[in-house]
Amino acid sequence: MNIRELRRLLDNREVSVRDVLAAVYGRIDAVEDKVKAFITVSRDEAYRMAEHAQESIISNRMSLLSGIPIAVKDNMCTKGILTTCASKILHNFIPPYESTVTAKLKEHLYVLVGKTNLDEFAMGSSTENSGFHTSRNPWNLECVPGGSSGGSAAAVAAGECIAAVGSDTGGSIRQPASLCGVVGLKPTYGRVSRYGLVAFASSLDQIGPITRDVSDAAAMLTAIAGHDPLDSTSVSYNTPDYEAALGKEIKGLRIGIPKEFFIEGIDKDVEEAVHAAIKKIESLGATAVEVSLPHTGFATAAYYILATSEASSNLGRYDGVKYGLREPGKDLIDMYMKTRAKGFGTEVKRRIMLGTYALSAGYYDAYYKKAQQVRTLIKNDFANAFKEADVIVTPTSPTPAFKVGEKATDPLQMYLSDIFTISVNLAGVPGISIPCGFTKGNLPVGLQIIGKHFDEETLLKAAYAYEQSTDWHMRRPSL
Amino acid sequence: MKSGVDTGAIVKKYEVVIGLEVHAQLLTETKMFCRCSTKFGSEPNSQTCPVCIGMPGVLPVMNRKAVEYAILTGLATNCRIALYSRFARKNYFYPDLPKNYQISQYELPLCENGFVEIVVDDEVKRIGITRIHMEEDAGKNIHEERGDYSFVDLNRTGVPLMEIVSEPDLRSPREASEYMKKLRAILRYLGVCDGNMEQGSLRCDANVSIRPVGQNEFGTRAELKNINSFKFVEKALEYEIKRQVSVVEDGGRIIQETRLWDSVAGMTRSMRSKEEAHDYRYFPEPDLPPILVSQEWIDEIKANLPELPDDKRKRFIRQHGLPEYDAELLTSEKAIADWYERAVESGGQPKVVSNWMMGDLMRLLNEENKSVDALLFGPAQMVGMLKLIDDGTISGKIAKTVFEEMYRTGKNAGDVVNEKGLVQISDTSEIEMAVDDVLAKSASEVERFKAGDEKLMGFFVGQVMKATKGKANPKMLNDLLKEKLGR
C-alpha cells in the first residue's frame, strides 16, 4: 500500500492512524530480527505522534503525510530521540534540536517509526560499516541491503514502514534502493535542507526519500523540499507539487544513454534488465540517444578525495569534549586520541586519514585542487549531455545485492558499487533509482534516471511512466 | 641575553622590520554564523546554541552586518573590496574551538591592498594593508588552579572577527604603536570595534625580524603573540628586537618560531618552532556559498562613511589653525574631536580650547580613566568659564580651581565662582591695602630686596595672594608691587 492509498483510507476514516501504526509495528515484531533495519524503534513517541495526526484528520486539517509511518535514517537529528549515525562515538547522543527535514515531516504530521541503520557516518555501501550491526536484504537475508541508507531501504522493502528518508553522498539512497527493489530519489543539491543532517561531505550530501513507488517519492519530496534559512546552500526556488508531474506523457522525451556506463564488469543480469527497461521506455514514445560523459572514469577517484577531505574536517568535532563518547586520557591529546580511536570504526578512520592527507600542505594542489577541477569537468559533461537528452538512463549499481562479508575486506571493490551514482553527486544533479527487474537469483535490479539541475519533475515523470508500465514495484519479498 | 652589551648602540646597526596581524572583534549584536548574542561578560555558556557549540549536523549562516562592517573597514583603509570572496576552513584541534575548525577566509579575502597613514616625528608615513578578512572567534578555556579538569566557555565562540594584516612596513616599535593607535581610532570612528585590548576585543600579533642596515632581503622572523595591552606593544617589540640583536651579535641565528609575550616577566618566550607549526589544511568552506558583494552595496556603504581621523586631523589644522600635534591628539578619539568642535562652535577660541582640553581636561580624565562621554559638564560650560577669564572675572590660576570643581560637580563656572567667592579682586585700593600690609610685616625682606635680592619678588607676590586667597588680579598686583618697591 502506498501513501496515496493509505491517505485515502485514513482521510475517509476507514482505518485509524493507530491501526496503521500497530500493523507496522506488528510487521517490525515479525521480521526485524531478520532484517535488522533499525537502530532505534521509537514506539512511544510514534503513538503520541499518531494521536496527534489522528486529531488533525478528525478535524479535517490533515496534511500530506498525516499519520503516515515513516522511518528516518539515523544521521538526521531528531529532537529528544537518540541519533547515533551508527557510530559508537555518538552512541548516547540525543539532539536538543530537530533537523529541518524531520521538522518539515512533523509539520506534515508524519509518524516517526524509528531511526534506521546505516554505514557509520554514511560511509559505505552495505551497512557493514555500522558501529552496531549489519542490516539484511529482505530479498535474501544473506545479502546486504546496500548502503549507506541500507536500513531505510530494507525497512521500506520489508514493510516495516510506509516510506523512509535517507541521505545520498555518492549513491547512498539510490544504491540501497536498487539492491532492495524500492524507489530512491536523490534530489538536486540544494533542493532539500541539510540542516540537522550529520555531515559526511557537505558539498555532496543530500537528503531524499526511499519509497515503495514513484508517486510516494514525489509526495515525500514535495513535503521536504524548499529553501531553509538555516542552510545557506539550500536554494530559494519554489517547490513544485511533484505529484502533479506524474502521469504526463513522455512522448518525445529524449533519454540519453551514456556510452561510458555500460562497461566491463557489469553484471549480465543487470545489463539485460536495464537494456530491457530502455526498450520499454522507448516503447512509451521516448527517443533513446547516445550521449557521452567522457570524464566518468575519473569520478570515483575525484569523489574519494573530495568526500574524504570534507569528512576529515566535518568529523573533527567528535573529540570527547562536548558530547558523545569520551575516553579518559592522561592529558588532552591522549583523551582526543583514545576517544577517536575507540569511537570511530575502520572505514571512518580510513577516510579521515585519506582526507587529512589530501588537504595537507604540499599535497593540496595535487589532490584536492585537482579533484575539484575534475568535478568541474564532470559538471560540464552533464551540461553537454543534457543538450541532447532530457534525462539520462543508466544502471544504478553494476551488481545486484552481494553477500554479507563478500566485499567487506576489500574497500576498493566496495567503492565500485557506487561507480554509476557518484558522478551524479559530483555534478549536483538529481537522480532516482527505480526497480527494473530481477536477476536469475531473484535479486532486484535498479534503473537510474538522472535529470537536469532542479528538474526533478521530468525525472519523476519519466520514472512514473516506466513504473506504471511494469509491475516490478508491486513485488514484495517473502520474509 | 649577553650582559653588559650596550644594546642601544648595537641596535642601530640593524634595521627592524615589523608587520602586524590585528584581530578586531566586530560590534555586531549577534554572532558571525548564528543568532546568539555577542554580549561580553555573561554567565559562561549562556550565549550558545547548537550552531556555535558545533553540534552534529548544524550549519553556519553568514551575518550580513559583519560583512558590512568589514567592507566599511576596508573602505576606510583604502582597500580594494572583492566582489567575490570565500570562506575557508582552518582545521586544528583545541577545546575552545568546538568544531575543531575555524571558519575563516584564506585564498580569497574580502579586502586587499589598502593602507593607513601614521605620523611619527612630524612625518606622515604610509603603512600598507595586505588584506582584511573575516573569521569567527574561538571560546575560552578556563583552567582550574588545582584539580584535573579545565572548563570551556563558548560565549565568545563565533563572535565575528576581522583580521587586518599589515605589510612589513613598520620600522620601529614606535611606528608599530602609532599604527595600532591609528587602526584603533579608525575602528572606533567607524563604530565597528570598541578597540579594547585589555578585554581582548582588539588583539595584536607581530612578525618581527632584523637585518643589517642596507640589506634588502628580510631576516628570519619571529611571530609574537599575546600582546594584550596597548602599553605592551612597544615593550614587547623592544624586548624581542634586543633579543634578536643579541642572538645575532653572539654569532647565533634567528630561528623561525612563535613566541609568547609574558607581560609579568617582561619578556618573550618560545612557544613553538616552525617544525611544530600547525598544518591548518585550509580548504573552501562547503557549507557557505561565496560572498557576493555588489558594487551598489559598496557604494551605499561608502556613502555612509563618517569623516575619518586623518581627514579630521587635516581639517582641524586647516579650519581651526591648530598645530599638527594638537590636531592629532584631539582627533584620536571621535568623542574628543566632537567635544572640541562643539566648544569652538559655542564661541571658544580654538587654540585656547585645545590647550585646556589637552591639559587640564585630559589630565583629570586620565586620572580617573574616564572618557569624555562621562563628563558632567558640556563644551558650552567650558566656554563659559573661558569667558570669565577673558573678562577678568577670574584669573587663569583661579580658573584651574573652578575647572576642577566643574569637573567634579558639573556646575556652571559662574555658580562655582559665586559660591566659593572666587571673583578676582581688580579694585586697586583693595590690592594696595594688602600690599602695604605685607610690606609692613616683611621689613627685613624689603631690606634684602632693595639690596639686590630680586628673587624675593616672588615671595611678596605669594604673600599678597595668600592674604587675598589668590583672588588678586595678578597683573595689577605685579604693577603695584613694582611701584611700591621702587622698580
Structural domain boundaries in chain B: 7-300, 306-420, 428-484
What is the percent of chain B where pLDDT is above 90?
69
Q: Regarding beta strands B111-120 and B80-81, do their DSSP bridges make them parallel or antiparallel, or are they unpaired?
A: antiparallel
Element (H, E) at A278: helix A268-283
CB nearest to B50's CB, from A97, A232, A319: A97
Q: What is the pLDDT of residues B280-295, one digit of tens each?
A: 999 999 999 999 999 9
Provide Rg for chain A, Cα atoms: 21
Q: Is the dihedral of CA B316, B322, B325, B331 positive or negative?
A: negative
| CA dist., res. B478 & res. B465, Å (int) | 11
How many Cα atoms sit within 13 Å of A385 on the Cβ side? 31
Task: Say which residue the cell 512533523 belongs to.
Answer: A106
Q: Which three three-digit cell numbers place residue A170?
A: 555518492
Q: Is the pLDDT of residue A211 over 50?
A: yes
Beta bridge partners of B103: B89
Interface check A466 vs B, CB under 8 A? no
Chain B residues inside the 8 Å CB shell of A365: none
Q: Which of B281, B282, B288, B291 to mutate to test the interface with A (most CBs of A within 10 A)?
A: B281
Closest chain B residue to A314, measured at CA: B99
Provide the residue count of chain A.
479
* Residue ranges covered by each domain of chain A: 3-253+390-474
According to the model, what pLDDT value does residue B458 have?
Answer: 86
Q: At B6, is the pLDDT very low, low, confident or very high (cuts 50, 70, 90)?
A: low
Contacts of B59 in chain A (CB under 8 A): 194-195, 230-233
User: Which of the pair, B148 or A310, is modelled with greater confidence?
Assistant: A310
To the nearest 10°, the Cα dihedral for B38, B41, B43, B49?
A: 10
- Residue B7, pLDDT above cutoff 70: no
Q: For residue B422, name the pLDDT band (cuts at 50, 70, 90).
A: confident
Euclidean distance between CA atoms B344 and B185, whole angstroms: 22
Active-site residue list of A? 73, 148, 172
Q: Dihedral sign, CA of B459, B464, B465, B469?
A: positive
pTM for this predicted structure: 0.90
Contacts of B261 (CB under 8 A, 6+ apart): B224, B225, B226, B227, B228, B232, B236, B239, B267, B268
Q: Does A95 touch chain B (CB under 8 A)?
A: yes
Flag whether residue A197 sits within 8 Å of chain B, measured between CB atoms: yes
3-state helix, strand, coil in chain A (%, to 5): 45, 15, 40
User: ipTM score here?
Assistant: 0.96
Q: Which stretches of B360-395 are DSSP H helices? A: 362-367, 379-390
B142 grid coordinates: 578556563
Distance CA A55, CA B160 (A): 46
The CATH number of A3-253+390-474 is 3.90.1300.10
Give tens-digit pLDDT for A270-306. Answer: 999 999 999 999 999 999 999 999 999 999 999 999 9
Q: Which residue of B has its CA nearest to A330?
A: B148
A246-260 pLDDT, tens per residue?
988 999 999 999 998
**For residues B212 and A397, what is the distance between their CA atoms, to the nearest angstrom?**
68
Residue B372 has pLDDT above 80, yes or no: yes
Which candidate from A198, A202, A319 shows the least CB-CB separation from B287? A202
Summarize pLDDT for B240-267 with one digit per residue, the tens. 999 999 999 999 999 999 999 998 999 9
Angstrom distance (rounded) from CA A348 to CA A119: 9
- Residue A360 CB-density burial (10 A; 0-12 exposed, 13-18 middle, 19+ buried): middle
Whole-angstrom distance, CA of residue B249 vs CA of residue B245: 6
| CATH code matching the domain that covers B428-484, chosen among 1.10.150.310, 1.10.10.410, 3.40.50.620, 1.10.150.120 | 1.10.10.410
